[in-house]
Structure formats: structure tokens, C-alpha cells
Structure 1
Amino acid sequence: MSAHPRDEASPVTAFGPDFPFAFDDWIAHPAGLADLPAAAHGTEVAVIGAGIAGMVAAYELMKLGLKPVIYEAGRMGGRLRSEPFEGGSGLIAELGGMRFPRSSTSFYHYLDTLGLKTRPFPNPLNPATPSTLIDLEGRQIYVEQGGELPPLLREISEAWYDALEDGADFTSLQRAIRRRDVATLKEIWNRLVPLWDERTFYDFVATSRSFSRHSFRHREVFGQVGFGTGGWDSDFPNSMLEILRVACTNLDDNQHLVEGGVEQLPRGLWTLAPERLVHWPAGTTLARLHGGATRGAVTRISRTAPDEIGITDRWGDSRRYKAVLVTCQSWLLTTHLHCDESLFSHRLWMALDRTRYMQSSKTFVMVDRPFWHDRDPVTGRHTMSMTLTDRITRGTYLFDNGPDKPGVICLSYSWMSDALKVLPLPVEQRVQLMLDALKRVYPDLDIGRHIIGSPITVSWESDPHFLGAFKGALPGHYRYNHRMYTHFMQGEMPPQERGIFLAGDGISWTPAWAEGAVQTALNAVWGIAHHLGGNSPAGNPGPGEAMPRIGPIALGD
């Protein structure tokens, strides 16, 4: 239960629903996360991956008096990758995570610790977005900031929230989250898990009473447009549980971008000297403990002794550790790393291997000014809007950095089959393809004449260090997720499987959200501390103490 009283006016946060533990309260508690015996101080712990999960875990382990040794195959930040435009005076393209819901309170704890500023993200139909244009089957719907939704979109919005109410007791679910009423939340969610684990998102929508009253067109437009971040149809094959988690914790609402780029967060943790440190002298940072750079890519993970795990890097250097944290995407354990099979149970290997990663592509350009604020003299509309369409661009986002200053356009943000369509194309061809598509939406606008500098693109599925953007749980995957998420509880495991821990958004219940990566990193910190003989402070019990009482419901095999 939260340390702070909550009521109906309290905000919805990413509190559960599978594991309703107050991570935000736990990390802010003055007693700290764990107390380690003096003999453990200075012990090296390997952290594989310098994304947000790896950096949060390393930062917290350092505060406890341990010595994290971070291995990174590519670039610090993982999928929090802010790519600067050459000559762009600080303008960036957010190639991975770019919009962060305010309900992600543990993630924002670290943003606030570093003093990073945010502002509302220009999502479709959002007050922060000057206008939104929806282009479907050649027909257009235009909505200005604060404007009223047209009848079709209003009907779809009402049908969606009615479906959530009928199929998931949505008001009661969110009320329990606001109040941090664990008993009620567990009662509702434990009832929903077996009901919706093996059914798809599309099944939920198509069989709901509210959508059944409308035409197929309503479901089709909902898939193309959605509400919050945009279209939902790339998620239609996923388990409905995954969508319910996003909806009930407001992960798809009130999203912000990080000014200057979110990559500042993992890089900031690298150089941040904590105010409260055990064992290490004041001013110690992760950068200082590493001599200024992480170690390179890991090629082998092996059991070298009953209580040691060996890590070999790309240059052949081998080191032994009492504990290892793996934050890379799970497919890398079977494709890019030689990992001893005995380190994980066969049931856990099944879960790791059955993880399904979704494809994603983005293409960005820098432009000379935010010309989209100009008005068309005939229609009175903005010359360009945040655009949702059934064309190959799918979602086009506009980033304003001030009048008469260069801006950024994400020409295309697409998923799954739409992302695969552009996979073989170099960046110049991608840009031209997107410009051609947008020309059909805005026939009188020459976007190309505003482009300056070089474009930037990404396809996460072709990146050898990721092989996909993030996990998308299919129907029936709840049991796999349960095995991965609870793996940090190692007290009942055979000795040969202890000492190696997992973290990252793919291990969490909320893939694609940085909050899930942070929460699983904190679970791993608890697990590593206890593996090395530590204990939680009496006044600040951790997730391991809470797990037997409020852990995720287990479904039988």
C-alpha cells in the first residue's frame, strides 16, 4: 500500500495491476532500498545493457555499495535513443521512446532527480497539437485544438469506453488504482486475467455490445485512429490483457516528451553522483567506477563455479561475478550470445524464446521553420496537421521549436507490416515515399522545399542489438510473462539457476513503456541485494517481501 493517503482525486499511476507494489514510494524512501553486509561492499555485479533498465539498476546498486560493471554492445541509452540532426542546433529525432505518460511515476522519479524538463507531446486530438487531420479512404476529418469531435469519432470514442466498462469493470479498476486499494484491485484484475488472456484485442472490440451496435466501419476507423497515441490496429492480434494494462494505468494518456531528448536520462545517470552513498566516497559516479566507458559487447555467459557466473566480452576478456543482470532483449540470449542453457529452467527458456517482438519504423526530417502554423487562405485550415492516415506514413508528427526556428517532422511512424514495407529502403527512398504519400493528403503543399539537413530513420527489427522494437504479448502468453517477471524471486530455485537476473520492458507486464523497464530493474536490484546477503530496511520492505502477498495470479498449466 502507498505511504500516502489516496482518494478519488488522486491521479491514476502505473500501480499494478498485476503486481500492485508502490515502486515510486519505495525508491523515494529515506531508508534506502537495502542494507548489505560490509563484506559485500565493493562486490562487482555485471550489468548487460546500458538502456534505461541497466542504467537504473546500476545506479541503485552503486548507491547500495556494490560495483556495477556495465557491458554495452552499441550505444548507451538502448531504445531511448535521441539522434541529433547534423547542424541542427540541438534538434533531435527520438528513434525509440519519445512520449512518456505522467502515470509513469517511477520513470519520472529519475527524470526529476536529474532535473530534466518535459512538455506535452503533440499527439492526435491533443490540446498540445494545433490541429489533427485524419485521412482515411481519401476522406478527411479535420479537428483543431480544443475542437469538438465529429459524430463518427465521438461514437467510436464512446463505444471504446463503454466496451472497457462492460468488459473490464473499468471505473472500479481505475478507482482502485487511484486509491491504491490493493485488495479491490487484486480482486478485479485476478478475475479479468483468465477471462482475457487468451483472447485478442480485436476480439474484445468486435464482440463488445457497444461496438456491435455500430458498423464495421467504426471498428476499422478505431483501428486506424484510436484514441490517445493514434491507431490501434497493429495491436489487434495482441492479448487483450496487454491493452487493458495500458488503458487502466493511463499509459496512453497525458504523455510528455523530454526537452533536449530522453537519451539524457540514461546518460545523466552515468555521470550523476548520488547524495546518499554507501561504501563509496562522495562524488562517486558510474562513469568514475568504469574509468569513463562501459565494457564492450558480451559474447558468452557461463557458469564458472557454483556461486559465480562468467562473462566474456567481444575482445575475449573473461571475468567472474557473484551476480549478473541481463537487460538485453531475450532473443539475443539464443541468437547472439553463447548462454549456458543450465542458467535458466526449460520453462523460462520457453518464455524467453516465445517472446514476440513487434517491428517499428520511423523517418524524420528537419525543416526550416514550423510552416504548419500557416493558414490556407481558402479553407482557413492549418497548411499541415498532425496526420493519421491509412497510407504508408500512418502517423506524421510535428515538433515545433519556436517561430521561425527549424522544426522536426516525423514523416512516418509505423508498425508491423507497414514497417516491413520500408525495411529494404535506404533513408532517401523512405523520405521520398513518405513525401509522395503526404502529397496525396496535402496536394497544394510542397513539404520538400522546407527540408534542410540530412534525414534520419530507424528500423528496430534490423538492428542486430535489438531484433525488434518491443514485445507484443499474444493470447496465451500470460504464463510466460509470469515466469519472466517473477524470476527475481530466486529463493526456491536450484543453485545452478541463481545469481542471474532479468530486467527490461520485455520482462515487464507493460512492454514498450519505460516505466516497465524501470520497475523490473528495481525488482532486480532487490533480487541482487538479497542474493548477496542483503536485507530490506524494516521501514521500507521491497517487492520481494510483497510478492507472496500481492504477486501476480498464477494460472495453472
Structure 2
Amino acid sequence: MNKVSVFGPDFPFAYDDWISHPAGLGHLPDTAHGAKVAIVGSGASGVIAGYELMKLGVRPVVFESGQFGGRLRSQAFEGADGVIAELGGMRFPVSSTGFYHYVDMLGIESMPFPNPLTPAAGSTVVDLLGETHYAESLDDLPPLFHEVAQAYDRALEEGANFTALKQAIRDRDSARIKEIWNPIVEQWDERTFYDFVASSDAFQALSFHHREVFGQVGFGTGGWDSDFPNSMLEILRVNVTECDDHQRYMVGGVGQVPHKLWDHAPISITHWPAGTTLSKLNGGATRSGVTRIRRVGEKFEVTDQWKRVEVFDAVLVTCQSHMLSTVIDTEESLFAQDLWMALDRTRYMQSAKTFVMVDRPFWKDKDPDTGRDVMSMTLTDRMTRGTYLFDNGPDKPSVICLSYSWMTDALKVLPLPVERRVDLALTSLANIYPDVDIRSHILGDPITVSWENDPNFLGAFKGALPGHYRYNHRMFGHFMQDDLPPHERGIFMAGDGVSWTPAWVEGAVQTSLNAVAGIIRHLGGGFYPENPSPCDKYAEWGPVKLPD
């Protein structure tokens, strides 16, 4: 049986096939070799676009105002070799086949992520309304939790023809995907995730408490209540492409992906000598942050924070969309007003994580009275919400993500220093594990992040509200520029916030590749008939257009 991948459903295009085809992504005329493209941001989308454009003979110049790697941010604990906290993306579903193309090419090892109720977690504790349940699988939980899981499965089937849609994605049957998905877009764009759950026959037959449990605990990666206000389309995409299933983490940190790609010399490259890397083309380091973008004839003038001004043949912006109107002085005429509306109305979700390093995976110790693990992966309605446990093997300290929270729960700790965040998390966990002295195992200094407090992000990732489909459509399809007036062509955008799957790195990969295709065309290049590009397939399989 074919595996589920992020093949659509809005634009069912095989990005993984396109980037792995021996013919290559496309070709440029000799006159375009050495053309300069400014790339704003060194996250996954920026580095991948730069890498692929470099292979085609372009000179990508990467600008970065913060930390290299964007939200693929692996922060090392001081004094420990290879012991890290994943502050941004940390779990990567195997359905992200475009992303794993680069992971495999770079030789990065991955392991199953210790999500709740998975073998990788070993055991899970669900603590809800002061009552604690220990489980190694869903079968170990009380009937209430089974009822909730079964109700959501039925709701998906009734409301989204779920099995048939997933099978069409497995089969990569674009016509069947669009036949099922396009009417769902029209039906659910303006309705919330909570509406989908509460109005379903499956949940209406149950109590409010069942919906409450679903929000607090959920299934797959954890509770869903922070997403309740979002458009249901956002959640359906995650479910049907299995972004919340079969997840892995990168051994040594996902930050290796952009860093290793930065230094990777491709086997096949045009124009540049063998051994060329992004790092070498950029003089060994990124430029500083962009502060101004202007059009100069058919080209672009980009200014960095040190007032260095340089002219480029094209620009790719991969920063979060709010940066274009709050941080970067972006010439207004570069984007249509309806696209500015989409960029400015994009809503970002808050998120906070707090990590500690511990001496060993003490949670695997057995309670002499019960025979159970003394501590488990934990889902709770307390402030910590999700607690994850990472065993780095016998020769390294272990790591606990004490708290992974969203929206209101993340805002509760926003003004607090890291030590206070740790204290609050340990106090919550002490109510669940009164006999476990976590403090006695902690080494070094804790690590925390609040993405909404980072001036380069102002939030963790996009969370589309009801009615935002049209905004997303404008952003995602912007790489198709034939119908744009000349003064709007040549500037492109990418990133998971431009994609249909925000928060998942595959969205960053796919929009990055869209931008590469658009830049190839903008520079006068083309594609190989045996390996058609997103530009070639967009008119036929692009997202359904809703009336304005």
C-alpha cells in the first residue's frame, strides 16, 4: 500500500518527485547564470531555496536578522556535548517526504518521537480534573477516552469523507482528491474546528465532558483546544496528511538540517565550480537583517541594517508576513492591496516551551509498589499541558521538556523569567508525581522560549481563522506571476506561513520549491517535460478559488 504524504489536498503536486528527478528542477539561459537573488531569512524555506537556486547557477545572497535556521532552532545545553532543546520544530511526520529528501541526503539520523501513547514514549500519564491515569496504550485508558477517540474518527468520516480522501492521497489521484476536497473547502472555510466537533452527530450523542477531554488531551500529539478557534480546514489538512502521526525527531537536533545544507556541495551543479556551497557563495556568513526593499527598474534594491545597499535580480522573502509591514520598509506597490490584506491579517499563534537537562533517564525507574515507570510522558490540564521525556542514550544526560503550551497557557508565562517558569512547571508536576524529586536530577541551566516575544517572529506560526482561505490562496499562489502587473513581479514569498500546513516544515519546503519554480521563470528559464514543475501543474490542480 502507498504511504500517505503531504500530497495536497489543496494543490496535489508531487514535490518529492520533482526534487529527486534526475533531470533536475529546470534550466536557466546562460545570461541568467550568476544572477543575484536576495533571500530574506535563513530558515528551512530560505536555505532550501538558496540551495536549489545555487545548483541552477544562481547566486543566492542570504540575509538573517536573528539566529540562523529560523524555527529549526536546536539550542545546546552548556557543558554537554550534543544535548539540545528543540525550541522550534521538534517532531517531523514521515509524511513530510520533501523534507526527508534533504534529511536523508544530509545523512541525519532520526528516531521515533515520544508522543503520548506511542511505543517511543514507553508510558503516558493523562492527568485531568485532578484524576490521573497511567497507560502504555489507548487500551489502558478508561472507556471515556475510547469514546472520545471513536467519536472524532466518526466525525471525520461523516464531515470530510475521510477514508476516501486519505486513500486518494495515498494513490496520488489528483482528480479524486480535488473531487472530495474542493466541496469541503466551500463547506468548512468559515467554520471553526470546535464547530466541526460540537456539531457532529458523533459528539452530539456524547456529553460536553467528552468534548472537554478531546480539547484537553486529544489524540495523536496531544490536546486540541488551542486550535478550537481555527478554521476546520487547517485541522483537516493535518489529519488527512498524517502530520500528527508517525512523527520522528532528529538525533542531535533539527538545526543540523539548515546548517548542513548551508555547507553541502551538491554533486550536480551548473555554472559554479565543483565544491561550491551556499556558505562559500555568501562569503562564509549571512548578511545582516533586511530593513528596506525597493524596486529599481526591473531589479530590486535591498538595504540591510548596516545601510549596505545592493541590487538584485529577484527577491525571496521567507520571514513571517508581519515583518514586511512592521520591520522591513517594503515598497507598497510591490504587492497588490488584496495581498497586503492577506499578509497583514495572517494570525500567528503563541507558544512556549521550557526545558531542563537531567543526569539520566530516571523516569524509567520502576515504582516498587506498582511496577510502573516512576514518571511518564504527561498530558494534563495543569499549566504544563505537555511534558516530554528524551533519553539521549547511556553516555549523555537526558532532557525533559517540562512544559509545551499554546495560546492562553503560553501567555500565562510570557513575562516570567526561566527560573520561575521551571518552578511553576515543577510545582504542577509534583501534584501528579508527589514521590518523584525531579529537582535532584537537574543539571546546568534551563532553556525556554516564547515565540511571540521574539521580534523576528511575533508568534510561533500561522493559525488560520474562519474566512482566511482566500488570504491563504493569495499568498500560496503568488509564485504564479504571469498575470501580475510588471511592478509586482520578481518578488516571491515562501515559508510555512505561506503554505496550507502552517507549523509543519513540509509547508516551508513546498512553498520554497514553488518560489524556486517562479524564480526560474522570472529569470527566463524553463522546465523539463519529463519533470513538470509546480508552474506547469498549477492551472490544472491548483487550489479551488472561492468567490470574493
Range into which the TM-score falls when normalised by the shorter chain: over 0.9
Counterpart in the other structure of 2:402: 411
**In 1, Cα distance between the equivalents of 2:239 and 2:165?**
10
Contact 1:224 1:390 survives alignment (8 Å): yes
DSSP 3-state at the match of 1:324: strand
SS in 1 for 2:249: strand
The answer for the alignment partner of 1:234 in structure 2 is 226
- Structure 2's unaligned 5+ residue stretches are none
Answer yes or no: is 1:319 the counterpart of 2:319. no
Which AA in structure 2 matches 1:24?
A: D
Cα-Cα RMSD: 0.9
Partner of 1:373: 364
Corresponding residue number in structure 1 for 2:118: 126
Which residue does the alignment assign to 1:4?
Answer: none
**Matched ranges for 1:7-406 at <5 A:** 9-144=1-136, 148-305=140-297, 307-403=298-394, 405-406=396-397
Contact 1:129–1:145 at 8 Å: present in 2 too?
no
Greater CA deviation, 335-344 or 395-404? Answer: 395-404
Aligned partner of residue 457 in structure 1, secondary structure: strand
Q: 2:483 aligns with which of 466, 480, 492?
A: 492
Output the CA distance in 2 between the equivalents of 1:58 and 1:19: 23
Q: Is the 8 A contact 2:72 2:89 kept in 1?
A: yes
Q: Note if contact 2:133-2:141 (Cα within 8 Å) is conserved in structure 1.
A: no
Partner of 1:45, secondary structure, is strand
Q: Is the CA contact 1:370–1:405 (under 8 Å) kept in the aligned structure 2?
A: no
Task: Tell me how far 1:25 sits from its aligned partner.
Answer: 0.4
2:450 match: 459
Identity percentage over the alignment?
A: 66
Give distance in 2, aligned partners of 1:177 and 1:243. 16
Q: Is the 8 A contact 2:115 2:388 kept in 1?
A: yes
C-alpha separation in 1, matches of 2:198 and 2:395: 47
Contact 1:363–1:430 (CA under 8 A) maintained in structure 2: yes
The residue type equivalent to 1:482 in the other structure is: H
In structure 2, how many angstroms separate the alpha carbons of the residues matched to 1:534 and 1:150?
60
Equivalent residue, structure 2, for 1:423: 414
2:517 alignment counterpart: 526
Distance 2:458 2:262 in 1: 25
Aligned mates of 2:397, 2:149 — CA distance in 1: 35
User: What TM-score, normalized by structure 1, do the two folds share?
Assistant: 0.98
Task: Note if 1:470 corresponds to 2:471.
Answer: no
Distance 1:15 1:349 in 2: 28
Cα distance in 2 for residues equivalent to 1:36 and 1:100: 33
Contact preservation (8 Å) 1:325, 1:501: yes
> What CA distance in whole angstroms lies between the structure 2 residues aligned with 1:388 and 1:146?
13
Q: CA deviation at 1:192?
A: 0.3
- What is the distance in 2 between the residues matched to 1:183 and 1:330? 32
Instruction: List per-residue Cα deviations over 1:1-49 (Å, max 9, x = no partner).
Output: xxxxxxxx10110000000000000000111111100010011100000
Specify the code of the residue in structure 1 equivalent to 2:368. Answer: P
Residue 405 of structure 1: how far off its partner (Å):
4.1
Unaligned runs of at least 5 residues, structure 1: 1-8
Give the residue type in structure 1 aligned to 2:311. R
Q: What is the one-letter code of the residue matched to 1:27? A: I
CA distance in 2, matches of 1:258, 1:200: 33
Shift of 1:147: 5.2
Q: Secondary structure at the match of 2:117?
A: coil
Q: How many residues get paired?
A: 548
Post-superposition offset of 1:149: 3.7
* Secondary structure at the counterpart of residue 78 of structure 1: coil
User: What do the CA deviations read for 1:211-236 (whole angstroms, capped 9, x no partner)?
Assistant: 11111111100101111110000000
Provide, for residues 500-541 of structure 1, a one-character-per-residue CA deviation record: whole Å limited to 9, x for no partner: 000000000000000000000000000001000000112111
State the shift of 1:110 in Å.
0.4
Deviation at 1:304, TM superposition (A): 1.8
The one of 487, 493, 499 aligned to 1:502: 493
* Runs of 4+ residues over 3 Å off in structure 1: 145-149
Give the SS at the match of 1:533: coil
Deviation at residue 148 of structure 1 after TM alignment: 3.7
Quote the offset at 1:90 in angstroms: 1.1
After TM superposition, give the deviation of residue 381 of structure 1 in Å.
1.9
Tell me which amino acid in the other structure corresponds to 1:452.
L
Deviation at 1:145, TM superposition (A): 5.2
Q: Which amino acid aligns with 1:431?
A: V
The DSSP-based 3-state class of the residue aligned with 1:548 is: helix
Aligned position for 2:543: 552
